[in-house]
Amino acid sequence: MATTTKAPAADEAAEAPKKSKKMLFIVVGLVVVVVAAAAYFLLLKGGGEEEKEAEPVPGAVLVNEPITLNLADGHYLKVGLALQFTEEAGGGGHGASPDGSQALDRLIEQFSNRPVGELSSPESREKLKEHLLEEIKHDYHDGVMDIYFTEFVIQ
């Protein structure tokens, strides 16, 4: 009977190294998979840095002459608009001088007949400017980076 009590202890002792070796192989395997995945994304995918669009380089600036617009209730707005083109767009491309007529048309469309209070508020004016920029970017096929008000007088 003494041999039967010692036999289970010997079996447990023999199984302990097998389990720890099995667990070691699983852990090492997981580490290898994680390292391989990280290497794939960093080396082959470029770490995501190449996927981001490069920031456009500023090009020519076209300053349009100020125009006067009718606002609501008999008021007027004198506004000047400048367009910051991208270097790639070249301010019109093919050596041609840039044309600001589309941008002025959008400006007239968006700012005409607005109430003075709406244009006097900096927050509202900034929102209108952002909307105008989006429309101009679309019109110029993303060749315009930014717009600037060179003059903004309400009377």
The domain locations on the chain are 2-48, 58-154
- Residue with the bigger pLDDT between 32 and 106: it is 106
- Residue with the bigger pLDDT between 23 and 81: it is 81
Beta strands, E only, the chain: 58-63, 67-70, 76-86, 144-154
Q: What is the DSSP code (8-state) at residue 44?
A: I
Q: What is the mean pLDDT of residues 124-143?
A: 94
pLDDT at 150: 95
Going 115 to 116 to 120 to 121, the CA torsion angle's sign is negative
Q: What is the mean pLDDT of residues 126-135?
A: 95
- Residue with the bigger pLDDT between 92 and 151: it is 151
Per-residue pLDDT reduced to its tens digit, 16-55: 666 777 888 788 888 888 888 887 877 776 655 555 677 8
- Percent of the chain's residues with pLDDT above 90: 50
142: left (phi over 0), alpha (psi -120 to 50) or beta: left
Look up the CATH number of domain 58-154. Answer: 3.30.479.30
What is the C-alpha to C-alpha distance for residues 83 and 129, in angstroms, rounded to an integer? 12
pLDDT at 7: 54
Measured in whole angstroms, the distance separating CA 11 from the mean position of its chain's CA atoms is 63
pLDDT at 140: 92
